[in-house]
Amino acid sequence: MDPRIQLPNQHSKNNLKKTAFSFMVPFLLFGLLFFGLVFYYYYQLRFGDITNIPTTLQSESITISTNLAKQENNTKTIQTIPIRPFNPTFGNKKNPKIKVVSFIDFECPYCQQSYTTFRAIMEKYQNDVLFVFKHLPIEDLHPNSMKTAISATCAHEQNQFFDYYDMLFSYTTYDTASFIAYAEGIGLEKTQFQTCLDNKTSEQQIIDDITDAISLDIVGTPTYFVNDTRVVGSQSFSIWDNLLSQ
């Protein structure tokens, strides 16, 4: 045997074991903490009081607006989520068990991603839940989003907001010609719709929704409130099911 090669003695082996164990401890602790948090949130969503969770869910599937993030909130903390008379609503309007308020940008890819799931949730829970729509066009990322929002308010003026909502999310083309085609496709009176779109008669309503979003420290879309509990980003059907089946 080459005398220059030193085989590890028992003391060296013990040191190696201690080093390996010390290296693994932080990962084990992190794993326990992570799975503990997952279990806690699952238990609260499934069996507990969801209002005990300050922010119910934070998904990475959200479009962040740098302009919204820079806005200074000079208003007092809002105790309840504002629902304005002009906000489109769907579901139980008389005595809902739960209110879900959504802040949406039609051109946001994550709003588009969540559309099919959230629409199915709306249909499933329409007898028990009031769904409220609020506009939050993110113009710094989607320059045409304000005009898209205005077109939706023009459909709402003719009491067909959610039919038009479906068209916007189903076809995802956002220009004047498409807006008119969508309006005609659901039977809106074309001249009235065109006049509303050209005159921007409902733009202030959208500005009011944006003001509400800033007051609530919302920085992106989609953002939802289940009663007073914030849900951020696109969520799966099972998560919505857990939230609304309390």
Summarize pLDDT for 188-246 with one digit per residue, the tens. Answer: 999 999 999 999 889 999 999 999 999 999 989 999 999 988 999 999 999 999 999 87
Taking the C-alpha atoms of residue 196 and residue 202, their distance in angstroms, rounded to an integer, is 8
Cβ atoms of residues 189 and 42 within 8 Å: no
Residue 174 C-beta-side C-alpha neighbours within 13 Å: 21
For residue range 44-77, list pLDDT tens digits in order: 434 444 334 344 455 556 666 656 555 544 444 4
The dihedral of CA 201, 157, 132, 112: what is its sign?
negative
* Residue 140 confidence class, pLDDT cut points 50, 70, 90: confident
Q: Quick one: average pLDDT of 120-131?
A: 97
Taking the C-alpha atoms of residue 43 and residue 106, their distance in angstroms, rounded to an integer, is 33
Q: Residue 170's pLDDT is what?
A: 95
Instruction: Say what the pTM is.
Output: 0.72
**To the nearest whole number, what is the mean pLDDT of the chain?**
80
